[in-house]
Amino acid sequence: MNPRAILTVLVAFLALDLASAAATDSHDYAPDEYAVIRDGLAPNKRMSLASHGADENYKGEFHVWLMAEPAHRKLARLPGIGPGGILDTGPNAYHASWSADSRHVAVTYRSDRHVVELNLYGVEGRRARLMSGPSLFKDVTSRETTRGDDVRRGVPEFEWKGTRRFLLRESRLFVTSDAGFLRTLGRYGRIGDKRDDGSFFVEFSAEADCVVLPGNRYRIVDLRVGKLGE
């Protein structure tokens, strides 16, 4: 994973079905409006995550904030979300998945119409810090995706399995003309249809059990081939 610990993912939340959610979700915010995102209230009811962005006159920048509850008071801006690298500004386009002890939270959002991103945070006191660890794609290929990779879809899943353990699935669809790209994926890759220009689709799918470590890190415990062809 890159230093910002951003994963291209689909959380089990995905009631945000990417096919039906192709349209951009925009929202004009009132100056004092901090709208709680989907499932944004922490289990302990003492914190929430809320979005705030530009008003109807395009004043202000979009960010997601850690809030104190029930006062609904700003504590800190979450690093790594906004104002750039986002597709939507509506609060319902952002989804939180809190651990049961309210000490960690995964936030998902779209960076493109068919690509969902996830930031995993450690929450302590008045701060939320990005957690670092490898994506499953990097664990397989020893590199992250780059702008040179033609990623057409990012549809993984994230699920807490305890306060320190989670299940991560990653499914990505690429278009490439590099025959060697499929070899780098090994058994985690599957070739798809050939295109008129000679390029072809390649699917990547993997799943892993992961564990949270001290110092706002996580590691992959058990990596497995995901469900290819779905």
Least confident piece of the model among 32-41, 48-57, 90-99: 48-57
Res 59: pLDDT: 79
Mean pLDDT of the region 171-177? 95
Alpha-carbon distance 37 to 35, whole Å?
6
Could you tell me if 13 and 39 are in contact, meaning their C-beta atoms sit under 8 angstroms apart? yes
Mean pLDDT of the region 51-58? 85
Res 22: pLDDT: 60
Mean pLDDT of the region 117-122? 93
Whether the per-residue pLDDT at 18 is higher than 60: the answer is no
Whether the per-residue pLDDT at 166 is higher than 50: the answer is yes
Residues 6+ apart with CB under 8 A from 146: none
